[in-house]
Structure 1
Amino acid sequence: MSLFEQFLWVIFPYLCVATFVVGHIFRYRYDQFNWTAKSSEFIEKKRLMLGSMLFHIGIIPVIMGHVAGLGIPKEWMTAIGVSEHLYHIGAMYGGGLFGVITFAGMLILTMRRLTMKNVRRLSSASDMIVNGLLLFIVFMGMFSTLVTNNVQPDFDYRETISIWFRNLLIFRPEASYMAEVPISFQIHILAGFLIFALWPFTRLVHVWSVPLNYARRSYILYRKNRSHTAGR
């Protein structure tokens, strides 16, 4: 393979992951005050709630599908009774459904940010980039699943992309597995790694700020000052 292909399928993924890890450490140590997402709920609430709800309903099954498809070998699926046909149906219809839900939510959130003047004023350049890139990633994922898989039915990403990905995890990268992968899948993968590289430097870091400590906090009790009120 060419040096450019080696860069795309070996160097670039590791570079993005390294940036993801080091960037989070750096930002947590030196920029904790901005480790949050600016809320625009007070400006407009209806579209924010709808888009956010659809996005989160869709993205969790989508992530789980990616974990299963990329992380679990094809032979293991067959061993537990998940045939090629059954897996294909789940990926096409289940993945397609939740992909559409995710895309609809992301589209609403992106259009809200672009078309509402006050929300747009509150948005930074990185907010626009993240919204646009996430929308593009979801779109390319849907296109790959619903279009490319039908146009090229002989292509099986579990025999190419999945093996390439698992080899990356064990530090035995083999770029040749990506040689015959359709361009839509390639773009989807590269854009996915790019969002990981940008993650520490955008509002996406608020994903890790789960307020678990609130569950352990004691209730705050408010009492009237009876002596003060009685003297009035």
Structure 2
Amino acid sequence: MINQFLWVIFPYLCIASFLIGHFYRYKHDQFSWTAKSSEFIEKKQLMIGSLLFHIGIIPVILGHVAGLGIPKSWMEALGVNDHLYHIGAVYAGGFFGVVTLAGMLLLTSRRITKESVRKLSSTSDIIVNILLLFIVFMGVYSTLVTNNVQHDFDYRETISVWFRDLLIFRPDPSYMTDVPLTFKLHVFTGFLIFAIWPFTRLVHVWSVPLNYIGRSYILYRRHKKRKTS
């Protein structure tokens, strides 16, 4: 019963919260669809932490997409055997995971220890920072430690199959039964962050000014001063 809740009901609840929550907030609370900037309070730590986080998180996301979305048999058909995949996942994935973790450590430390930044932060801001830090830490630990300790475990034959089946509405929680605890915590908290996403400042991720891409110029208007008689 607990497996059914953790790996079927809970993920679907999180996905529903993510989709419905975004729709509701965009329709009824567009003015808060942004992130309050604290750059004017403290800039150096924010710049370094944000740079490290963004450098690391993009390859990490792409690695998750490949690892979860592409079946193992497809990889082997392309000539990527277990050894090659392991090198890429552990060394490349581990490196960018550590970079992301360093960025999150700086950003979380800044938000909690800098009094002026903490006063500007809401409770949800702090929760998001701590939760993201935990998710990244568990991901790095699972990649660098669990993978090297439990050699017989292959997440592409367990977590990945479960995840793809979940997306096509054929969930089978049995795939998660023998998954190591570190991976389970990483997956569970990963879904949890998606559940609370629409109700936090994370929504600013979608506020990318795509309409400016491709413009060859930006028009500036100058107001003429009125002549006074």
Task: Work out whether the TM-score is over 0.5.
Answer: yes
Which of the numbers 96, 99, 121 marks the counterpart of 2:97?
99
Aligned positions of 1:122-141 closer than 5 A: 122-141=120-139
Residue 15 of structure 1 aligns with which residue? Answer: 13
> Which SS does the other structure have where 2:171 is aligned?
coil
Alpha-carbon distance in structure 1 between the residues aligned to 2:223 and 2:168: 59
* Aligned pairs for 1:75-224 within 5 A: 75-215=73-213, 216=215, 218-222=218-222
Shift of residue 219 of structure 1? 1.6
Deviations, residues 128-167 of structure 1 (Å, cap 9, x unaligned): 0000000000000011011111110110000000000000
Residue 66 of structure 1 is matched in structure 2 by 64
Alignment partner of 1:45 is 2:43: yes
Separation in structure 2 between the aligned mates of residue 223 and residue 198 of structure 1, nearest angstrom = 44
Larger radius of gyration: 1
How many residues are aligned here? 226
Q: 1:71-126 CA deviation, whole Å, 9 max, x = no partner? A: 00000000001111000000000000000000000110000001111100000000
Unaligned ranges ≥5, structure 1? none
Aligned equivalents of 1:223 and 1:174: distance in 2?
64
CA RMSD of aligned residues (A): 1.6
CA displacement, residues 26-83 of structure 1 (integer Å, 9 cap, x when unaligned): 0001110111000001111111111001000000000000000000000000000111
Task: With the length of structure 1 as denominator, give the TM-score of the two structures.
Answer: 0.94
Please give the alpha-carbon distance, in whole angstroms, between the structure 1 residues aligned to 2:115 and 2:168: 47
* 1:187-223 deviation digits (Å, cap 9, x = unpaired): 0000000000000000000000111234447420448
2: CA distance, partners of 1:218 / 1:112: 36
For residues 42 and 165 of structure 2, the distance between their equivalents in structure 1, rounded to whole angstroms, comes to: 45
AA aligned to 2:220 is I
Q: Could you state the TM-score of these two structures normalised by the residue count of structure 2?
A: 0.95
Quick one: distance in 1 between partners of 2:224 and 2:20?
50
